[in-house]
Structure 1
Amino acid sequence: MTESSDQTNPGRTVVTQMSAVYPELAGKVAVVTGAAQGMGATFAEGLATRGVHVVGADINEEQMLATAARINTDLESNALADKPGRVVGARVDVTKPDEHELLAQLALKEFGRVDFWINNAGIFPFALAEEITPEQIGATLSVNVEGVLYGAQAAARHLGPGGAIVNMSSVSALRVRKGRGAYCTSKAAVAHLTESLAVEFGDKGIRVNSIAPGYIDTAMTKWVQEDPIALASALDAVPLHRLGSPEEVFGPLLFLLSDSARYVTGHSIAVDGGSRHV
């Protein structure tokens, strides 16, 4: 991976595709939720570039199908992708356990196996603590926590020894912000749930880890990027003084799926430019 400064926006860095290659991943099959855009789409494309077949799922079926078609078309003309994988798009409501099982069955039908499961889907609500409604806290915990649990349950039914589950937590599990009480609570739950799953699924030879991103340049952080004061404040809290890129989250994901991490389970890797220390 290489990076260079974005002269039009000093808080951003232009990052090229990750250069890490793990040959053992080729031919494996991954399910990625929340894959229609943002980090999920980056995960799906990065894995497929390395020969991993992907079932990408999202609540927005139309956008997911369009993303899958774009990735497949791009890979056909990508000289750097040697025997790329294929991305199949599907709709999923992660709050419904049965729909996770349908994703597993789709992976089995299309590719004959399931090796990895990335629970990436999530929502990012805003409300001051006194204004959080039952509907908001319910929806946040349902998508961000139950969605991870149900995905992991489906994965555990189909992954064999050597399989890996990666959940998306957040530095918000460790550092709270005003107006994000529901979100921070949900991500703290994901981090702890990951540890619990790692202990129980270890008997099956399945590893479970999480990634805790900080400020990443996606649609979810538009609110801070579009507010100069908020952006300056955010970057002051990041020792590297810039936003991260989805590709920089994909690097640790790739490691956690690879054989290089075959003795790593129950951990959360912070990808936050050091902001959890400030």
Structure 2
Amino acid sequence: MTQPATFHDLKGASVYITGGGSGVGAALTDGFLAQGANVAFIGRSDASAFVDEMRDKHGRAPLFLQGDMTDTELLHATMGKAAEAHGPIKVLINNAANDQRHALDESTPEFWDWMIEVNLKAYFFACQEAARQMDHGGSIINFSSISYMMGNAGYPIYTTSNAGITGMTRSLARELGPKNIRVNALAPGWVLTQKQLDQWATPEDLAAHLDRQCLKRHLTPDDMIGPTLFLASEASGAMTGQCIVADGGVVTTG
């Protein structure tokens, strides 16, 4: 997908993305590379083939740092390696998440801890390290979801995490504003990644969700590139502490 806008201030920027090798994260890596940014990303699965694809497409490769972002020490170490390669992180995108379906009466304390570690704790500690590096300001973008705004059932720990992300975003925007660090959340609708198509996107559920959207087309990972670039760029320089919805018109804010 060719982006309709160029954000000139992102050229050469040091960008760090969690989960940047697959799904929405891979689209973001592609989109930032197209803007001339220097991208590093963390992921648990081997992303060598994707790195090669990006090198062939853009003439330079993203820095892939393999690891589990719930290991805070390792997460911070990879962010340090990103800074060594590209300079201090200017843009942090907390994208990686797990929306595994689960019921209230089947959830255990261990499963709760794991879901919170993936979907909220890792976000917080990535923000912590990014803030340390952003001596001259920067942009943090935390991916949330409209699922908690809709009151969706079927994954209550995930929706709890989404609500926590929005609250954390607003508090950190207040705390980090004096350092010229902007912190915003982006809440996508149902983005049809391959994982969603393989595991949960039944024809009936897809039709019902599309009926709720104003725009009568399903969302793809590429639909998240433009909003993320905007929040990363100084084009949104007066915006912080906000939760921006990109869902095709399901929920309303304001």
Q: When the two structures are superposed, what TM-score results if normalisation uses the length of structure 2?
A: 0.94
8 A Cα contact 1:125 1:136, kept in partner = no
Alignment of 1:258-277 (within 5 A): 258-277=233-252
Amino acid at match of 2:55: N
Structure 1 residues 195-204 or 102-111, which shifts more? Answer: 102-111
Partner residue in 2 for 1:196:
171
2:115 pairs with 140, 145, 169, which one?
140
Superposed CA deviations along residues 133-183 of structure 1, whole A, max 9, x for unmatched, are 222221111110001001000101101233111011000131122211111
Q: 1: CA distance between counterparts of 2:232 and 2:77?
A: 22
CA distance in 2, matches of 1:176, 1:67: 35
Q: Which residue of 2 aligns with 1:104?
A: 79
5 Å-filtered alignment, 1:95-174, equals 95-174=70-149
Contact 2:141 2:231 in 1 (8 A): yes
Contact 1:167 1:209 (C-alpha < 8 Å) held by counterparts: yes
Task: Encode CA deviations 1:202-248: one digit per residue, 9 max, x unaligned.
Answer: 121111001000011213422343x2112111211212132212121
TM-score, L = length of structure 1: 0.86
The equivalent residue for 2:14 is 29
Quote the Cα distance in structure 1 between the aligned partners of 2:63 and 2:24.
17
Unaligned runs of 5+ in 1: 1-15, 77-84
- Choose from 171, 193, 212 the match for 1:218: 193
Among residues 219, 222, 233, which one is paired with 1:244 in the alignment?
219
Counting aligned pairs with the same residue, the percent is 31
Aligned letter for 1:50?
Answer: Q
Measure the CA separation in 1 of the matches of 2:136 and 2:213: 38
2:57 aligns with 74
C-alpha distance in 2, partners of 1:189/1:169? Answer: 9
- 2 CA distance for matches of 1:234 and 1:220? 17
* Residues 220 and 237 of structure 1: CA distance in aligned 2, closer, same or farther (over 3 Å): farther
Runs of 4+ in 1 over 6 A off after TM superposition: none
Q: Is the 8 A contact 1:56 1:68 kept in 2?
A: no
Unpaired runs of 5+ residues, structure 2, are none
Give the drift of 1:111: 1.8
Matches of 1:198 and 1:26, distance apart in 2: 24
C-alpha contact (below 8 Å) 1:173/1:191 kept by paired residues: no
The alignment covers a number of residue pairs equal to 252
Instruction: Tell me the residue number matched to 1:257.
Output: 232
Q: In the alignment, which of 181, 186, 194 is matched to residue 156 of structure 2?
A: 181
**1:112 partner letter:** G
Distance 1:110 1:49 in 2: 18
For 2:63, what is the secondary structure of its paired residue? strand
CA distance in 2 between partners of 1:148 and 1:92 (Å): 15
